[in-house]
Structure 1
Amino acid sequence: MGAWGFKTFENDDSSDWLYELEESSDLTVIESAISEANEDYIEAPEGCNILAAAEIILALHGKAKESLPDNAEQWVSKNKSLDTSGLRDKAIQAIDKLLSDSSELKELWQETDDFEFWVKDVTSIKSALSEINH
């Protein structure tokens, strides 16, 4: 494993995903990440991407977390007019699946001392998404 912390952008997978997002000017990268939850089992890299996409959706609604990287903030400020309707509910469902037994990311975090911090962070993203009006 590369660099890992329990917050969304504290790992190599999310950083790589963010680079891909920076190269785009629409929601395709975000929609693609969220759709990974449609698989029977979510691998860890895809799980990281789902969380990154969820945080970008929050930021597009003016609810960015303090830990959002500068390059993500810059992308959001350039693209805040994008229509994210429909993505909120899909992101919430994807996070529910990440917190289920169909998630490699959850399994990996369960083996660490930071599992409760990870769950708290993921749950806070879900709660913030739930507060967004469609």
Structure 2
Amino acid sequence: MGTWDVGPFDNDTAADFSGDLDEAPEGEREGLLRNALVRTIDTRDYLDQDIAVEAVAAAALVAAQCPGGEPVTTAYGPDLPIPQLTADLRELAVQALDRVVTEPSELMELWGETDTVGPWRGTIVRLRTSLLPSSPGGQLQLS
């Protein structure tokens, strides 16, 4: 996999996933995101990096629609808008991110072999934090 930075779309696989989203009819884009997340969550054995990378990209698109979520502005993200997503994708995205950083995970192993594992983990933490609902007082609810 060609990777050039620690962002959710800073690799060839995520860029290809963005292209797949752009090629899909608007009504099917949420299903593609859901499938990427569920496929990751359901992987009990070794999690292939390509599956994990797509889940991270999907989680970033879900997080972008959450209050305080970072918009996806990279040229490697989807060019076409993602329709308003259903709320249940937030929990699926959290579960998928948790699986990506749980062994056995090829993506986690590959990042662990680099000097940028800390910044990559920071990206995952920021996404996860954006996906968690906030209480009225601004405190994260971890339930």
What's 2:17 paired with? 17
CA distance change for structure 1 residues 64 and 74 in 2, over 3 Å: closer, same or farther?
farther
Question: For residue 59 of structure 1, what is the amino acid of its counterpart?
Answer: A
Q: SS at the partner of 1:56?
A: helix
Determine which of 34, 58, 74 is the counterpart of 1:31: 34
Asked if residue 54 in structure 1 is aligned to residue 59 in structure 2, the reply is yes
Q: Determine if contact 1:36/1:42 at 8 Å carries over to the other structure.
A: no
Provide the C-alpha distance between the structure 1 equivalents of 2:72 and 2:95, rounded to a whole number of angstroms: 23
Change (3 A) 1:21 1:132: farther
Residue number among 78, 83, 86 corresponding to 1:72 in the alignment: 78
Per the alignment, residue 141 of structure 2 pairs with none
TM-score norm. by structure 2 comes to 0.80
Identity across matched positions, percent: 26
Displacement of 1:61 after TM fit? 3.3
Question: What is the root-mean-square deviation of aligned Cα atoms in Å?
Answer: 2.1
Listed as ranges, the gaps of 5+ residues in structure 1 are none
Quick one: distance in 2 between partners of 1:50 and 1:72?
14
CA contact (8 A) 2:64 2:71 kept: no
- The higher radius of gyration belongs to 2
Superposition deviation, residue 60 in structure 1:
2.9
The number of residues matched between the two structures is 129
Gaps of at least 5 residues in structure 2 are 136-143
TM-score where L is the length of structure 1: 0.84
